[in-house]
């Protein structure tokens, strides 16, 4: 069982971070992970097109991708972009948690972001 994780892409129209993500995903094709977890800060600012471009790159991969938002991300835009993924559909509007069972392993993702804040909290999600 191999799970890859990428964090803090911070893609924006004025940087090369999408190209760097594309290179990382190309490298992962040789590693052949069973799943990929992206842990937040996919884009900088309000760059909606960045989510669509990241989604297009992930759609080309042969493994599932699970995404947690970071404090720089917009949950609603993420849910709109990845609406076909069960983890985006079956979550409350205020969180993008996920649970995925694969290869005898349970993978849990807890969205701890607080809207428009630079900190996280799990208190509201632990009941």
| Chosen CATH of 3-125 out of 3.40.50.720, 3.60.21.10, 3.40.50.620, 3.20.20.140 | 3.60.21.10
Cβ–Cβ < 8 Å for 29, 21: no
Distances (CA, A) of 43 to 3, 8, 46, 74: 22, 8, 8, 9
Q: What's the predicted TM-score (pTM) here?
A: 0.83
Q: Residue 18 corresponds to which tokens in the numbers above? A: 């999408």
The domain ranges of the chain are 3-125
Residue 106 Cα distances to 35, 90, 100, 116, angstroms: 12, 17, 6, 30
> For residue 89, how many other CB atoms are within 10 A of its CB?
10
Write down the pLDDT at residue 59: 93
The sign of the dihedral angle between the CA atoms of 90, 94, 96, 99 is negative
pLDDT for the residue numbered 28:
97
List of the chain residues with pLDDT < 70: 84-93, 115-127
Give which of 91, 83, 127, 124 is closest to 109, Cα–Cα: 91
CA-CA distances (angstroms) from residue 24 to 6, 7, 48, 67? 9, 11, 22, 16
- What pLDDT was estimated at residue 90? 63
């Amino acid at each position: 069982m191999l799970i890859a994780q990428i964090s803090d892409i911070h893609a924006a129209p004025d940087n090369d971070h999408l190209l760097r993500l594309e290179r990382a995903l190309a490298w992962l094709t040789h590693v052949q992970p069973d799943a990929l977890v992206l842990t937040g800060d996919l884009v900088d600012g309000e760059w909606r097109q960045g989510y669509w471009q990241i989604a297009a790159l992930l759609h080309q991969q042969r493994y599932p991708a699970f995404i947690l938002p970071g404090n720089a991300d917009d949950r609603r835009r993420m849910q709109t972009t990845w609406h076909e993924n069960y983890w985006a559909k079956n979550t409350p509007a205020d969180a993008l948690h996920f649970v995925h069972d694969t290869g005898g392993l349970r993978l849990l993702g807890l969205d701890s972001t607080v809207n428009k804040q630079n900190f996280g909290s799990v208190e509201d999600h632990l009941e």
